A and B are shown apart, each in its own frame.
Chain A
Amino acid sequence: MESLDLELDEGHLELPAEPMRLMMGPSHPAMHGTVRCIVDLSGETILKVDVQIGYLHRGFEKMCERGTWAQVFPYVDRLNYVSPMLNNVGYALAVEKMCGIVVPDRCQWYRMVLGELARISDHLTCDGAMAMELGAFTPYLWLIKAREMIWDVLEEETGARLTHSFGRIGGMAKPPTAQFKSLVRHSVSSVLRIVDESEKMLLKNRIFIDRLENVGLISAADAISLAWTGPILRATGVAYDIRKTQPYLKYDEVDFDVPVGTKGDTLDRFLVRLAEIRQSARIIEQCLVRMADEGPVNVDDPRVMLPEKESVYGTIEGTIQHFKLIMEGAKVPKGEVYSYTEAGNGELGFYLVSDGSGTPARVRIRPPAFTNTSGLSQLLEGRMISDIVPIFGSINMIGGECDH
């Protein structure tokens, strides 16, 4: 057989010596569809990376200035669309802090249970997606199946799987359903079983561990300077959890641990999230025991709460009150407030400015994903291009809140 004569004159081949510029995203599956990384590469090593966000910007803070205070709830649902209940509760607490309202005990326990369920679903999604992006598709399907069980409970309670809009100023839209406690207990135990199985599947997998361990290291001081909060700060060893340090709702009355990492690498971030799922399950069980089966959920305050439907259609006072709350909105005292809660990815802050009317003057969201993502370029520089995928996955950038 004759050899192939390709007429290659390799002596004149010039290999490029300057860094190659690679545009990664926004429509790259590992970039979750909303982030673009402009990467300067030398071979496979990342020299410099410019993380560009904003592809999911929806002018959310501007829109909040057009409606009433209560009309912000559907917007906050769409901030972190993996755990919308935590956003609902966070915003409700911020407005209640301004109005000086404390919701009844039953509602506080209820909010905690729903919030912890949302946190579990957030962590399941993040850890599952990380595994999937590294090629482990089965644990991803298992964890998403577990998330589906959580969402079934939330659907039963709120009527919506994803965008619940369930929070209200001074309470919740509906009281807990009769089968709430048994539903939650049943789902959480199934979820924990699936988490155990997935954990065995992943943490005994050499390839998975090698892709995560000692990748994306960050020191505690750097993480604090970047204002990282939540699981990714705790992965560096800083036991900072707002539920412990500045407890809100009834978090000071329940018993739970704050899992921390040691090195601050991607594996730590993965493990901290897994451990937090179990802590959330502990909190949920204690809340279910303490939550009363009877009693008011909403605060009895006609300034913010809509009247009963019977009263709206039957009495003139009820009609007027309903009309004013819908058309003018609940009046919030003049001033400014910063209220912060521990959301799935860290500190979710609401800085609200009120001019005393029924419309917010300024609703500033402090989304955890924005500050978390701002540290991404620091983690990536000097690493290989294949490390972008696990590092980016472990940050858990949620486009909705990162891009406002």
Chain B
Amino acid sequence: MSKAVLQKLQATFGAAILETHSQFGDDTAVVEPSHWLAIATFLRDDPACAFEMMSDLCGVDRLDVTPRFEVVIHLNSLSKGHRIRLKTRVGDEDGEGAQVASLVGLWKTANWLEREAFDMFGITFQTHPDLRRILMYPEFVGYPLRKDYPAEKTQPLVAYRTEEEAGVPLDKQAPFGPHEGMSFARNDFTKRAEDAN
């Protein structure tokens, strides 16, 4: 369906396109990580490609293969009615150095999707404006979708934040304390026990 796009990519970028295939009818191009942004920009802006929508971005861990991670995006052209899968491979066997350019400037949806890939695999997207965890909490250690992260592993409970970390006086936060005179305040169990005695 979009074989023409693959041929055009190969003609334009040559050696930066590492391999292509069309397994199960899905046209796929694997590209050099250094050309990631340039190729994505080309696919969006070239009138014959016109991929206005990035449907999906995700990571794949191929443990024991170097480069270890694949960053996979699925592009969709509403006007041309074709799709393409673009992949790049990053990271050494320990998952270090997994870096690729961010696509937030091209498609707004890349913002959350790249945050998710960072959260789950530890892939860093350079120049991403707001790269923090999205599904897990900030204190989470490790990257859960990596193959060497055990599925049954548990993480310690997170301690309460101190006032410095929270940046607000914590005793002033709802639910209100018993001394603040609110009808919906926390129950004062010590007082209740004393009253009962």
Contact = CB atoms under 8 A, between A and B. Distances in A.
Interface of A: 52-54, 57, 59, 61-63, 65-66, 97-98, 222, 224-227, 229, 238, 240, 245-246, 335-338, 340, 347, 349, 351, 353, 361-362, 364, 366, 370-371, 373-375, 378, 403-404
7 contacts: A54-B133, A240-B78, A336-B28, A336-B85, A364-B72, A374-B108, A374-B112
B160 interface: no
B24 interface: yes
Given A337-B26, A374-B109, A403-B135, 7 more contacts: A53-B134, A54-B136, A57-B135, A227-B53, A349-B74, A362-B61, A364-B72
A338 B28 CA distance: 11
A54 B107 CA distance: 22
Q: Point out which of A61, A351, A361 has the most chain B C-beta atoms below 10 A from its C-beta.
A: A351
B2 interface: no
A246 B80 CA distance: 12
A83 B113 CA distance: 24
Contact of B52 (A98, A225, A351, A353): A225
Contacts of B56: 227, 338, 349, 351, 364, 366
A364 B135 contact: no
B74 A371 contact: no
Contacts of B136: 54, 57
Nearest to A238: B78
Contacts of A52: 134
Query: Which DSSP category, helix, strand, loop or mixed, fits chain B's interface?
Result: mixed
Given A225-B109, A374-B111, A340 B55 contact: yes
Query: Which DSSP category, helix, strand, loop or mixed, fits chain A's interface?
Result: mixed
B74 A337 contact: no
Nearest to A353: B60
B24 A335 contact: yes
Contacts of B101: none
A166 B72 CA distance: 30
Nearest to A375: B108
A338 B108 contact: no
B67 to A, nearest CB: 16
B189 interface: no
Nearest to A370: B112
B23 interface: yes
Contacts of A57: 135-136
B31 interface: no
B55 A225 contact: no
A62 B135 contact: no
Contact of A347 (B52, B55, B133): B55
Contacts of A373: 112
A278 B112 CA distance: 34
A87 to B, nearest CB: 16
Contacts of A403: 135
A18 to B, nearest CB: 13
B37 interface: no
Interface string B93-117: 0000000000000011101110010
A104 to B, nearest CB: 21
B55 A349 contact: yes
A371 B53 CA distance: 11
A178 to B, nearest CB: 37
A334 B5 CA distance: 25
B26 A404 contact: no
Interface string B107-150: 11101110010001000000000000111110000001101010
Contacts of B178: none
A201 B168 CA distance: 46
Contact of A54 (B52, B85, B135): B135
Contacts of A97: 24-25
A349 B83 CA distance: 13
Given A54-B135, A225-B107, A66 B55 contact: no
B40 interface: no
A66 B150 CA distance: 11
Contact of B74 (A366, A370, A404): A366
Given A57-B136, A364-B56, A351 B74 contact: yes
A224 B53 contact: yes
B135 A371 contact: no
A245 B134 contact: no
Nearest to B137: A54
